[in-house]
Amino acid sequence: MVADSSFKIVIVDESPIRAAILKEGLRDAGFASVEHISEMHNLLARIYRIDPDVILIDLENPSRDVLEQMFQVSRVVRRPIAMFVDQSDASSIQDAVEAGVSAYIVDGLKKERIKPVLDLCISRFNAFAKLQDELDRTKSALEDRKILDRAKGLLMKAKGLTEEEAYVLIRSTAMREKKKIGEIAQSIITAAELLK
Amino acid sequence: MTDTPLRIGFIPLVDAAALIVAVDKGFTAAEGLDVTLAREVSWSNVRDKLNIGLFDAAHLLAPVAIASTLGLSQVKVPIVASFNLGLNGNAITVSPALHAAIMAEADGDPANPMVTAKALARVVAARRKSGADPLTFGMTFPFSTHNYQLRFWMAAGGVDPDEDVRLVVLPPPYMVESLVNGHVDAFCVGAPWNSVAVDLGVGHILHFVSDILERAAEKVLAVREKWSLEHPEVLAKLTRAHGRAADFIENPANRGEVSRILGAPERIGVDPEVIQRTLDGRLKISPDGTFRESGRYLLVGREGAARPDPVQAAWLYAQMVRWGQAAYSQEALETARKVFRPDLYDAALGASARPAHIVRDGVGAFDGAPFDPANIAAHLASVTIKRPPPK
């Protein structure tokens, strides 16, 4: 893919990790001029200074409404800005919104030139969401692990069991009661706290 | 029979009350609707998700519904509103410094918006003479009542909102901080942000917007016109549930419960006491503890507020023309008026007589002749400060 390196792209995102992922992807695709704005104060002034061709913003950012003002004050902007090049491309808009990104594009840029930016953006946003999801799952697995260790410790102390025996007891109880190991471990901790 | 699933977007504001109560008190479930409420962070998100069909309905700024229908600056998606979620509800808050400056220049009762608007004009002139930066006012969206209310007020006093001051869009949660750090000198916003500024001692509520306009459509329950034609029964059920919710909210005996429902973390997520102030129309307006009460601060269902009134749609369209957002045409005026659908409201909730004491022209602006929705050219001819139509 030969990207247009003359584009100036601004990424407005409060997540530094996602912005970095996006920036790297855009650079790899040949877009040389990519800037990241993470600070939301005086957003319009910063954007006017950079004067980008494309603005990418995370949908969870309330400052999206601020960008809408650029449609209204075209006297101040060098060129008027429109979101999405034309309204016939509803599926692209839907894909972008579902991925959590919105694009503002300087009027006059051809759709074919924007498409690769938007597609790349959508895939990067989706990749980030997957990463975030994995991170969350790892975190909760770690949390379960900690709870299990505490429950094992309580059983070992209360009943004079080895670690292996404590674990077998928790596991068999979970199987008998059709519950998760983590839930049984949590109830052991809760019970121990109540009995303190 | 299984319930009809609906996904509805909202912004955490007190004027989403009828929607939130309709769902959380089970009025929608009683109609066989299984509603999921999606909390959003920006009006652009609400509008786009409604327009592309990710939402079936939405809590939407009334002017955005009109702008979307007319295709102003955005993808053109016709919207209809069968239920008005609220009239009024905003306030203008100014920094202590600007408050003092306006009070020093006020020639007459500062509760009168004309007195403060003229005082503002003198403050602006003095700043210009001394070479100070123009005053900056925050509002929530280019197509918002906040924008038009601020402009209507200051222009009446001779201040040109595009030449003499700066008007900037600010997300409501950033308003107070921006007032503190001096990025804005004043703002117009809905609850609870005015109260937050007063409670922190960083702002004075100068006016309730109901001082400027007695009846301004603020937020509507919006659906795509296409969707309304495909699902007329579902829309009628949804409208009916909202009618029940509005009645529930307007019963003073329920205010405590309503405030708790709205204050929940996954809904508006603020102290129920602050929410109740807005519903009661009794707000602390000054850091010194002065309170002010108004029977029409925010109207959710009483005084016929919930029935969409095309006169208010016409007024909003007239403001879009006045400030250069829309070109005037009789056809566009008609299209704008038809966004508000009292017929759908009546079909769902039964026609009711218009309360007798409502201001005659349906708008009640503090300045100018009565508003005639059939002749907005006369309204525009009567004002001197305005913009040329867009190119």
Quick: pLDDT tens for B359-388.
889 999 999 889 999 999 999 999 999 999
Q: Do B75 and A71 touch (CB under 8 A)?
A: no
- How does residue A85 score in pLDDT terms, banded at 50, 70 and 90? very low
Mutate which of A65, A66, A89, A92 to disrupt the B interface (most B C-beta within 10 Å)? A65
* Range in A42-51, A132-141, B166-175, B350-359 the model is least confident about: B350-359
Instruction: Provide the pLDDT for residue A82.
Output: 44
The sheet carrying A33-37 orders its strands as: A33-37, A8-12, A54-58, A101-106, A81-83
Residues of A in contact with B181 (CB under 8 A): 41
Nearest to B219 by CA among B29, B45, B38, B46: B46
What are B209's two structure tokens?
């917007």
Residues of A in contact with B163 (CB under 8 A): none
- How far apart CA B368 and CA A126 sit, in angstroms, is 54
Residue of B nearest to A40 (CA): B174
Q: Residue B216 pLDDT more than 90?
A: yes
Q: Do B168 and A65 touch (CB under 8 A)?
A: no
Q: Residue A78 pLDDT more than 60?
A: no
3-state percent helix, strand, coil for chain B, nearest multiple of 5:
45, 20, 35
* Range in A18-22, A148-152, B251-255 the model is least confident about: A18-22
Partners of A35 in the β-ladder: A10
Residue of A nearest to B324 (CA): A72
Nearest to B44 by CA among A42, A193, A93: A93
| Other C-beta atoms lying within 10 Å of the C-beta of residue A33 | 15
- How far apart CA B104 and CA B52 sit, in angstroms, is 51
Q: Do B75 and A87 touch (CB under 8 A)?
A: yes
Partners of A102 in the β-ladder: A57
- How far apart CA B301 and CA B247 sit, in angstroms, is 6
Q: Do A84 and B75 touch (CB under 8 A)?
A: yes
- How far apart CA B367 and CA B170 sit, in angstroms, is 27
pTM: 0.86
> pLDDT tens digit string along A135-170?
888 888 888 899 999 999 999 999 999 999 999 999
Q: Cβ distance B77 to B339 under 8 Å? A: no
HSE (side-chain half, CA atoms, 13 Å) at B264: 11
Partners of A55 in the β-ladder: A10, A104
Residue of B nearest to A102 (CA): B45
Is residue B79 classed as helix, strand or coil in its secondary structure? strand
Residue of A nearest to B47 (CA): A65
Average model confidence (pLDDT) for chain A?
A: 81
| Other C-beta atoms lying within 10 Å of the C-beta of residue A12 | 26
Q: Do A64 and B76 touch (CB under 8 A)?
A: no
In this complex, is the C-beta atom of B369 within 8 Å of any C-beta atom belonging to chain A? no
Residue of B nearest to A107 (CA): B73
Nearest to B195 by CA among B124, B76, B326, B91: B91
- How far apart CA B213 and CA B147 sit, in angstroms, is 13
Nearest to B238 by CA among B313, B144, B338, B341: B341
Nearest to A64 among B45, B53, B140 (CB): B45
What are A181's two structure tokens?
């190991």
Instruction: Provide the pLDDT for residue A88.
Output: 55
In this complex, is the C-beta atom of B110 within 8 Å of any C-beta atom belonging to chain A? no
Residues of B in contact with A97 (CB under 8 A): 48-49, 52, 54
* Range in A128-137, B112-121, B124-133 the model is least confident about: A128-137
Is residue B128 classed as helix, strand or coil in its secondary structure? helix
Tell me which DSSP letter residue B365 carries.
B
Q: Do B169 and A69 touch (CB under 8 A)?
A: yes
**Shortest Cα–Cα distance, A163 to chain B (Å):** 41
Mutate which of B170, B226, B325 to disrupt the A interface (most A C-beta within 10 Å)? B170
